[in-house]
Amino acid sequence: MVEHREPSQGAAVRESLSFCRQCMGMCGTIVSLDGESRVVGVRGDREDPSTLGYACFKGLNAPEAHNSPERFLRPMKRMSDGELAPIPLEQALDEIATRIRELVDADGPGTVAGYRGGGAFFTSSSVMMIPAFLSALGSPKAYSSVTIDQSAKMVALGRLGMWPPGRVPMSRSDVYLLVGANPLVSVSANGFDTRNPTKRLRAARERGMKLIVIDPRESETARFADIHIQALPGEDCVVLAGLLHLILENGWQDHAFCDQFADDVDALRSAVARFTSDAVAARAGISESTLRETARLFAHECSTGPAAGATGPDMAPGGNLAEHLIECLNIVCGRYLREGDPVEHPGVIHARQPIRAEVIPAPRWWEEGARSRVGGFGQLDGELPTGTLPDEILASGSGRVRCLISHGGNPASAIPGIEKVERAFASLDLLVAIEPFPTMTTALADYVLPPTLQYERADLPIWLYESLVSPEPYTRFTPAIATPPEGAEVADDYLYFWELAKRLGLTLELMGEALPMDSAPSTREILERTAANAPVAFDELERAERGVFLPGETQFVEPGDPDSPNRFSLLPDDVADELAGFAGTLAHPPLGDERFRYRLAVRRLRDGNNSAGLSLPSIKARVPVNPGFMNPDDMADDEISNGDEIEIASRHGKIRVRAEADPSLRRGVVSVSHGFGSLPREGAKYADVGVSTNWLTAASEGSRESINAMPWMTGFPVSVERTGARAPGAVEASKGA
């Protein structure tokens, strides 16, 4: 059992500057600390040069997480009675290392897998530890939340080719086309300026930037849009192909850019010819005139500014194609930086290098290197697709994964197909979670290693995606400003990997160099090595309380090789096949299945962050469960009232949730957030914890993308029925609809 303690917090005696590391916002904060250096308050720092005082409810709620009585404060081991109990750190590390050694000796390093989740990506001193640990061990079994999120973007670049200077930044855009993204709530960047997103969007609108949003819901972001295409979820490929068709038919493309860098514009034009405006409008449930206005505004009336997609398109059937078509819009309309343009963020932690205006031909990384044992999926950015992990654990044979180290994630909640995931994780010989709170994953773990929380560790803002989180070359350092709760035996995450590596006789490498393995490096040393390429000395960074802008010499896009034969590949064979598949759907009504008359839509909630923090009392007070949001007219037709229990069923399973009217949602859609619920074996009540939407999804053939094995999480058909009950009690989720 987790020991329950009452949090002891004193009055604030001092304040320190730091920044929040719960999402990509990286908001500058002022943290109040008591005499014991415990976090007692957080507020947005109005003088922060980057985020200008913004902080959301989740970020302001950090004291509750830091001092939570639920938090794991000591290493835990699952005992013979099935419960987790605290054990000494040395014992935990020795036992885990011994078990790993036995598994590797028995069947090789590929028996050991690692999974990184959000908590790992937001910890700069340890984000590279799973890759470093696995490569030292010789295991290719690296996984992360990226391949159950927006890896469609990597697939698109891998199939199209890359343009190193990147897209025109928001600051210089006349228009911004957002597909299935709600950055005003998710504070998640794809080139959209999320440093205090509403303020930045208002400023961009004031200087004349147009906004187009494709979303089944009139989201917080869509409310600012000049045009909102409220298409059905899962129809982005159709809508985007329809836009490309209009643009190419009208000759609104950037002819010079296309002539120089894309050979197959005509092939693309033919391939999208079937996506006529009337057919697209009928299939996507939108008006033809809105589609036409969008093509005109984006490609004809505006001359610069990109299209960008987020989870909406990327999680739907056809997600890889949708991202491909989004990038085709950018290529065809020439929405990239050109020779001589200044580069806003040339690199701070990432080394600066010359950026040339030329195409790097489609690298198709996944066609070489390690593959999943089941399905033969290849790697993206050094990782195998997470959608293949359950099979990798369950399928017998050599190389079967027997040990999983979960770092800062909750894969049991996050990976589609909840029952199979539970079965897979329960069958592991060793499941280790580096995790601060009880989760669906720790409920199955053999060991839990408790990390420090954000304000207890020194850090840099998420650097892997540094140019996405800040359009300017900005970074900062925060020292550890808070002390962990009394009696805690917690460590910065990287230390656990270092200690295990040492016990296994491995040498970890960071940024291409070996870490010392005789005595443990400090967090500061790790961060200093990480920032070795920064154009500023680390101690200068340390002294700059609110961070530093590092423009140095402004970097400009350099000319490309004029003789380069490299071109974008707009229509490789696999893309042509996928596009033909969607063209085939045009003949059918979108909600034509008698049984499944609705589509599911994912959405994120303002006050929760995936599964993280949902059990904290103040978050629970706001979002106790995940409702099923519906359009009020659909509810009236189906005789469903607010608060009624509804059953949502897919091909894979069913869940019962509370119906809630949401007039911002279009008809034909039911929208439910993920991250809630319990494991099937725990059978907790909906009224207590909500329910996992991963009863409705599956990480298997027929319900996922090719290449990245991305399981479909939105835009697939579901049925919705009123059960007759109000305010549902027991979870009643089950397999098979």
Binding residues vs ligand SF4 (CB under 6 A): 20, 22-23, 25-27, 55-56, 58-59, 187
In which residue are the tokens 């950018």 written? 330
Dist CA 17 CA 5 (whole Å): 28
Q: Which residues, other chains included, contact 194 with Cβ-Cβ below 8 Å and sequence gap of 6+?
A: 24, 25, 183, 187, 188, 200, 469
Q: 86-115 mask for Mo ion (x: CB under 5 A)? A: ------------------------------
Alpha helix (H) ranges present in 285-356? 288-295, 311-314, 319-332
Comparing CA positions, the residue from 223, 179, 218, 226 lying closest to residue 665 is: 218
Choosing from 28, 119, 158, 728, the residue that interacts with ligand MGD (CB under 6 A) is 119
Among ligand MGD, ligand SF4, Mo ion, none, residue 602 binds (CB under 5-8 Å by kind): ligand MGD
Residues in the chain: 737
3-class state of residue 215 by DSSP: coil
Under rule CB under 6 A, how many of the chain's residues touch ligand MGD?
A: 66
Handedness of CA 221, 347, 462, 117 (dihedral sign): positive
**If contact means CB under 5 to 8 A according to the sort of partner, which of Mo ion, ligand SF4, ligand MGD, none does residue 318 touch?**
none
**Residue 435 is a binding residue for Mo ion (CB under 5 A):** no
Residues 6+ apart with CB under 8 A from 338: 165, 357, 557
Cα–Cα distance for residue pair 323/331, rounded to 1 Å: 12
Site string for ligand MGD, 279-318 (x = CB under 6 A): -------------------------------xxxx-xx--
- DSSP element (H, E) containing 280: helix 277-284
Q: Provide the mask over 612-631, with x wherever binding to ligand MGD is found by CB under 6 A and - wherever it is not.
A: x-------------------
Nearer CB in complex with Mo ion: 410/585: 410
Helices (H), 145-276: 152-160, 183-186, 197-206, 236-249, 255-261, 265-271
Contact 668, 591 (CB under 8 A): yes
- CA distances, 9 to each of 2, 43, 67, 283, 458 (Å): 20, 17, 8, 57, 22
The span of 75-83, 143-151, 450-458, 725-733 binding Mo ion (CB under 5 A) equals: 143-151
Closer residue to ligand SF4 (CB): 21 or 335: 21
Q: Which of residues 506-525 bind ligand MGD (CB under 6 A)?
A: none
544 alpha carbon, distance to own chain's centre: 30
Regarding 314 and contact with Mo ion (CB under 5 A), the answer is: no
- Sheet arrangement for strand 142-144: 84-86, 76-78, 447-449, 430-434, 403-407, 112-116, 142-144
Q: Determine the Cα–Cα distance for residues 219 and 603; give it in Å rounded to an integer.
A: 10
583 in Cβ contact with 321 (< 8 Å):
no
Q: Which does 59 bind (CB under 5 to 8 A by kind): ligand MGD, ligand SF4, Mo ion, none?
A: ligand SF4
Nearest to 330 by CA among 176, 480, 465: 176
DSSP string, 455-490: GGS-B-S--TTHHHH-SSSEE--B---SPPPTT---
Nearest 10 degrees: Cα torsion 460, 465, 467, 469: -70
- By CB under 6 A, residue 191 contacts ligand MGD: no
CA dist., res. 699 & res. 441, Å (int): 17
Among 31, 331, 605, 733, binds ligand MGD (CB under 6 A): 605
**Nearest approach, Cβ of residue 229 and ligand MGD (Å):** 8
CA distance to 69, 615, 693, per residue, from 675 (Å): 21, 11, 8
Say which residue the tokens 């659909």 belong to.
Answer: 634
Question: Rounded to the nearest whole angstrom, what is the least distance from the CB of residue 390 to Mo ion in the complex?
Answer: 19
Residue type, 645: E
Least Å distance between CB 610 and ligand SF4? 12
| Among the residue ranges 111-119, 161-169, 374-382, 474-482, the one whose residues contact ligand MGD (CB under 6 A) | 111-119
Q: Which is nearer to ligand MGD, 344 or 492 (CB)?
A: 492
Query: Does residue 194 interact with ligand MGD by CB under 6 A?
Result: no
Using CB distances below 5 to 8 A depending on partner kind, what does residue 608 bind out of ligand SF4, ligand MGD, Mo ion, none? ligand MGD
* Three-state helix/strand/coil letters over 128-142: CHHHHHHHHHCCCCE
CB of 547 vs Mo ion, minimal distance in Å: 25
Pick one of Mo ion, ligand SF4, ligand MGD, none as the site partner of residue 312 (Cβ within 5 to 8 A by kind).
Answer: ligand MGD
| Residue 26 binding target from ligand MGD, ligand SF4, Mo ion, none, CB below 5 to 8 Å by type | ligand SF4
330: contact with ligand MGD by CB under 6 A: no
Interface residue with ligand MGD, options 17, 20, 23, 430 (CB under 6 A) = 23
Q: C-beta of 117: minimal distance to Mo ion in Å?
A: 9
The residue within the footprint of ligand MGD, chosen from 145, 294, 388, 555 (CB under 6 A), is 145
**149 near ligand MGD, judged by CB under 6 A:** yes
> Does residue number 408 form part of the binding site for ligand MGD (CB under 6 A)?
yes
Among 45, 48, 149, 492, binds Mo ion (CB under 5 A): 149
Which residues in the 345-384 window bind ligand MGD by CB under 6 A?
A: none
Instruction: Note the residues at the interface with Mo ion (CB under 5 A).
Output: 149
Instruction: Note the residues at the interface with ligand MGD (CB under 6 A).
Output: 23, 117-119, 123, 145, 148-149, 179-183, 185-188, 214-217, 219, 233-234, 236, 310-313, 315-316, 408-411, 413-414, 416, 434-437, 439, 451, 453-454, 493, 601-606, 608-612, 674-675, 693-694, 697, 713-715
